[in-house]
């Protein structure tokens, strides 16, 4: 039975034909243990461990070629690991489990000649939804992502951004038990990003673990409760933003009434940047902050002197350096 008359504050429950609709919270984890994949001599993914916790958005970041896509493919079983394993709810993941995962692959495999609605309903059927449940879920998602009028159009007539939205619907429709999304935000305009975020939050609010990769650090910073940072096939940092920040070098920002160039001569600090009256520094000696402030006051007014919360971009540069 379709349940699509429900309010839009809950995720579309498409009445999967043969699955229990669990609403467990917190314990619905994907666990990656020692995951490794070699291509010839290259270890694209090298002993990777992390957990995607139920109910949280986990951002997966790393530079080009860091191994994100390869890791996600192994989570989804599209690629087999050279070593290590993927676990789901405390035991090795099975093909049946994965059938209930929503996956957005890097290669966007839509059929250009097929109508949007038909294609999505077909994909929903492959995921185990009944035809009517798939249609109801797809129709609701199309409306929510602003494609309600385009349901009968062929995919190739849509702009790239709209094709991306269709791909997102393919991953989110029904009631996925976990979401693994490779660059779901790339190519979306800000309104579509917001709609997408709302949708993802609806899934996390019912305990679903969500892993998504992105190069948009500002977005990841805004959205994610947890982060996994990959570099050269290895996890170089993982945890909440605050946990990552606590290991980062503390910066101070000093704003003066005159030019701040003189700070370069103060011992015990590393100058990150000077721009006219503003200097950003790192203390290599804790006591230097007092010396810096005294020296500044001797030279004139101090308009601001405060610790700076490190941005994710800063943390990212530090851990991947």
Ligand X SMILES: Nc1ncnc2c1ncn2[C@@H]1O[C@H](COP(=O)(O)OP(=O)(O)OP(=O)(O)O)[C@@H](O)[C@H]1O
Q: Which residues bind ligand X (CB under 6 A)?
A: 39, 42, 44, 62, 64-70
Q: How far is the CB of 317 from ligand X (least distance, A)?
A: 16
Whichever of 70 and 204 has its CB closer to ligand X, that residue is 70
Q: How far is the CB of 213 from ligand X (least distance, A)?
A: 7
Q: How far is the CB of 202 from ligand X (least distance, A)?
A: 27
Whichever of 55 and 62 has its CB closer to ligand X, that residue is 62
Q: For residue 279, give Cα distances in angstroms to 57, 245, 246, 254, 316.
A: 35, 21, 22, 5, 21
Q: How far is the CB of 187 from ligand X (least distance, A)?
A: 14
Whichever of 41 and 149 has its CB closer to ligand X, that residue is 41
Whichever of 44 and 171 has its CB closer to ligand X, that residue is 44
Q: How far is the CB of 268 from ligand X (least distance, A)?
A: 38
Whichever of 139 and 214 has its CB closer to ligand X, that residue is 214
């Amino acid at each position: 039975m379709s349940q699509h008359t429900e309010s839009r504050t809950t995720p579309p429950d498409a009445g999967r034909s043969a699955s229990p609709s669990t609403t467990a919270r917190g314990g619905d984890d994907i666990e990656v243990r020692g995951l490794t994949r070699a291509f010839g001599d290259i270890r694209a993914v090298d002993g990777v461990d992390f957990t995607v916790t139920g109910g949280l958005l986990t951002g997966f970041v790393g530079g080009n070629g860091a191994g994100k896509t390869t890791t996600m493919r192994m989570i989804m079983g599209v690629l087999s690991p050279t070593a290590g394993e993927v676990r789901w709810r405390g035991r090795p993941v099975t093909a049946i489990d994965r059938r209930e995962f929503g996956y957005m692959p890097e290669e966007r495999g839509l059929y250009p000649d097929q109508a949007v609605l038909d294609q999505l309903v077909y994909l929903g059927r492959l995921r185990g939804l009944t035809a009517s449940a798939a249609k109801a879920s797809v129709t609701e998602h199309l409306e929510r992502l602003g494609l309600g009028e385009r349901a009968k159009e062929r995919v190739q007539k849509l702009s790239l951004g709209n094709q991306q939205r269709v791909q997102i619907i393919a991953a989110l429709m029904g009631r996925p038990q976990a979401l693994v999304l490779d660059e779901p935000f790339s190519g979306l305009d800000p309104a579509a990003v917001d709609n997408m975020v709302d949708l993802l939050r609806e899934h996390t609010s019912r305990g679903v673990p969500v892993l998504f990769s992105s190069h948009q650090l500002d977005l990841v910073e805004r959205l994610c409760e947890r982060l996994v940072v990959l570099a050269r096939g290895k996890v170089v940092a993982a945890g909440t933003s605050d946990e990552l920040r606590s290991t980062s070098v503390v910066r101070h920002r000093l704003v003066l009434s005159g030019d701040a160039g003189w700070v370069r001569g103060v011992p015990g600090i590393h100058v990150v940047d000077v721009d006219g009256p503003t200097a950003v520094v790192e203390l290599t000696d804790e006591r230097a902050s007092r010396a810096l402030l005294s020296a500044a006051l001797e030279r004139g007014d101090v308009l601001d002197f405060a610790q700076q919360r490190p941005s994710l971009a800063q943390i990212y540069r530090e851990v991947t350096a």
